């Protein structure tokens, strides 16, 4: 089977860039956190819709999730963005999507990606990704990750990077301080 064309890899890349958390976990003001989280939810909903569209050919034809669709359908079976083949889109997004649990951990249930029909394709994709053996071996331990980001989430980290994150800038924009 031929993998999707380069063009198809490039187009979703722009969506993936919007799915990186806009740092709602480090904003100190509750209103700022909510605004940034809503931006993230909007991007996750868009990604979920794209997954649904990729997988939708199977649903439209009455086939079960994971079923192969004929030549006219988009869906090729599987649980990844392009069906049954792990792609750059999957590999670029998962490191961020996997870590969304930290936002909920530090900011509460209202900062979780909802388990609603709108986000079901996203959750199904993420669950399938973390259950893929070659992917699972690369994921951090959740407990260790929670501890690792604690100082950033609580706003107590003191470094050029931490200061840049709080200011909404890149570290190289902060200068030597």
Residue 169 has pLDDT above 90, yes or no: no
**CA–CA dist 73, 63 (Å, integer):** 11
Average pLDDT over residues 50-74: 51
Tell me the residue length of the chain: 177
122 — pLDDT class (breaks 50, 70, 90)? very high
**CA–CA dist 105, 150 (Å, integer):** 10
Residue 70 has pLDDT above 70, yes or no: no
**Distance, first Cα to last Cα, the chain:** 53
Asked whether the beta carbons of 24 and 103 are under 8 A apart, the reply is yes
54 — pLDDT class (breaks 50, 70, 90)? confident
Q: Encoding tokens for residue 78?
A: 């599987």
**CA–CA dist 160, 112 (Å, integer):** 29
**More reliable by pLDDT, 139 or 2:** 139
């Amino acid at each position: 089977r031929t993998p999707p064309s380069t063009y198809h890899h490039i187009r979703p890349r722009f969506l993936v860039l919007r799915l990186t958390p806009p740092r709602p976990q480090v904003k100190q003001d509750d209103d700022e956190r909510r605004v940034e989280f809503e931006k993230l939810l909007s991007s996750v909903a868009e990604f979920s819709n794209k997954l649904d569209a990729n997988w939708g050919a199977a649903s439209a034809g009455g086939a079960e999730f994971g079923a192969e669709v004929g030549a006219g359908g988009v869906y090729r079976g599987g649980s990844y963005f392009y069906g049954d083949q792990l792609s750059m889109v999957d590999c670029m997004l998962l490191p961020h999507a996997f870590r969304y649990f930290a936002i909920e951990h530090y900011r509460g249930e209202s900062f979780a990606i909802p388990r609603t029909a709108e986000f079901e394709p996203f959750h199904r994709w993420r669950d399938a990704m973390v259950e893929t053996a070659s992917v699972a071996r690369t994921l951090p331990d959740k407990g260790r990750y929670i501890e690792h980001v604690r100082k950033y989430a609580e706003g107590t980290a003191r470094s050029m990077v931490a200061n840049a994150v709080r200011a909404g800038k890149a570290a190289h924009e902060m200068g030597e301080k």
